[in-house]
Amino acid sequence: MLEPLQRYIGTLADAPAPAEWPYVVRSPGRINLIGEHIDYTGGLVMPAAINHHIHFVVRPVEAPEWQLHAVDIEETFTLPLPITGRTEHLWVDYLAGIGVQFQDQGHFLPGLEIVFGGDLPRGSGMSSSAALEGGMAYLLNELLSVGLTRPELANLCRRSSNTFLGIPSGIMDQYASLNGRAEGPIVLNCHTLESEPVKNKLRGYGLMLVNCMVSHDLSDGAYGKRVAECNRALTAIQVKFPEVSYLSAATESQLDAVVATLDPTVTKRARYVIRENDRVRRAITALEAGASSEMGALLNETHRGLRDEYEVSCAELDFLQQTATEVDGVAGARMMGGGFGGCTINLLRLDRFAAFREQLTQRYQQQYGLTPEFYPVEIAAGTEMI
């Protein structure tokens, strides 16, 4: 995966020798097996880092600036130091925001030339943005010898998204990218930021992401609206049950006790959150028991909740999910990520991968005239210097 970056470096004016690029960071994307859209409500999530990455190749420069090269999109940008604010380029701001976090802690940012790229498709739900943030945070933490732990780096990345970019995101994506384990997924408590490994005893099954190749404009602002709706539900519940400190800690009976005070839409959002938190607990049991049918059923339940209660799906994702469940050897499927486009995640037998691709491609082309992309994914280690 480093070859495209090395070829690009060779095209730079007065191309520095390879030895002059002493730092290489590999930052993975992530999947989330289950626990969708509840990280910002303090819920339980089950993410994993995957074997699709962004690589950063870095060298120090004397000038007080970051010379940034985004190879995949063929853009460059020179960012003066110290960083004083946002630019007109979102990809630059993801990196600049991380720099601001270190500046705010009193650290002097070094001049750097950074070439980066990888095999993480943007808009597919594998969180290329978290890989960008996590890789930059990990790099600066090492170069500046700050000594932040991986969970602390994830929190720094979330703070950057929230305060610098104005994105009201939770911490799951950055946490999974930085803290993933090659041995299996983790369960993260997004309220306490405590995590533990999950014993995955499913045998003969793998994970396949299917990109529906669409992104609907109606998603604009939808994320912030869901956050606000969840906050309204929590406020109403706390009036009657002040001991409930975050929405995922509520029960359905507590929600039912205040439903008369809530807008029906807000009620649906809260009901999804509470039920999804419970599904994560059940998924831990299913994985540790090697119960593929139970795990698949939970994925299907989550998709129905995202479609009908949280309303962040779209027709194309619904079609792919329904079609997948009709293929022999598929235990279950659901949309993954923010919604309104991107990928489904599918749990299926390893010996059915080829047939799965063929059947979904044919049916999706017939229905929408689009060819989906398929990404078999393996669970991998978190961000690292290589």
The amino acid sitting at 301 is: E
d(CA 302, CA 295): 11
- Tell me: pLDDT of 218 over 60: no
pLDDT of residue 257: 98
pLDDT of residue 215: 82
Lowest mean pLDDT among 35-44, 96-105, 208-217: 208-217
Q: Which CATH class is domain 205-377?
A: alpha beta
pLDDT of residue 1: 66
- Tell me: pLDDT of 15 over 80: no
Band of residue 183 on the pLDDT scale cut at 50, 70, 90? confident
Contact 382, 22 (CB under 8 A): no
Q: Would you please indicate which residues are annotated as catalytic (active-site) residues? A: 173
Q: Which has more pLDDT, 362 or 1?
A: 362
Residue 65: name the closest of 37, 87, 40, 35 by CA: 87
The percentage of the chain sitting over the pLDDT mark of 70, rounded to a whole number, equals 98
Residue 372 tokens, joined: 């989906």
* Interval 209-214 mean pLDDT: 94
Q: What is the mean pLDDT of the chain?
A: 94
Cα separation values, 272 from 216, 255, 257, Å: 22, 11, 16
pLDDT of residue 14: 75
pLDDT of residue 89: 96
Task: Give the pairing of strands 373-377 and 330-336.
Answer: unpaired
d(CA 300, CA 312): 15
d(CA 255, CA 275): 11
Band of residue 221 on the pLDDT scale cut at 50, 70, 90? confident
pLDDT of residue 220: 61
pLDDT of residue 223: 83
Band of residue 155 on the pLDDT scale cut at 50, 70, 90? very high
The amino acid sitting at 258 is: V
Q: Is 303 left (phi over 0), alpha (psi -120 to 50) or beta?
A: alpha
- CATH of 3-199 given 3.30.70.20, 1.10.287.3510, 2.60.120.430, 3.30.230.10: 3.30.230.10
Band of residue 343 on the pLDDT scale cut at 50, 70, 90? very high
Please state whether the predicted TM-score (pTM) of the whole model is above 0.85: yes
Q: What angle do CA 319, 323, 326 make, to 5 degrees?
A: 155
Contact 226, 312 (CB under 8 A): yes
Delimiting residues of CATH 3.30.70.890 domain(s) in the chain: 205-377
Delimiting residues of CATH 3.30.230.10 domain(s) in the chain: 3-199
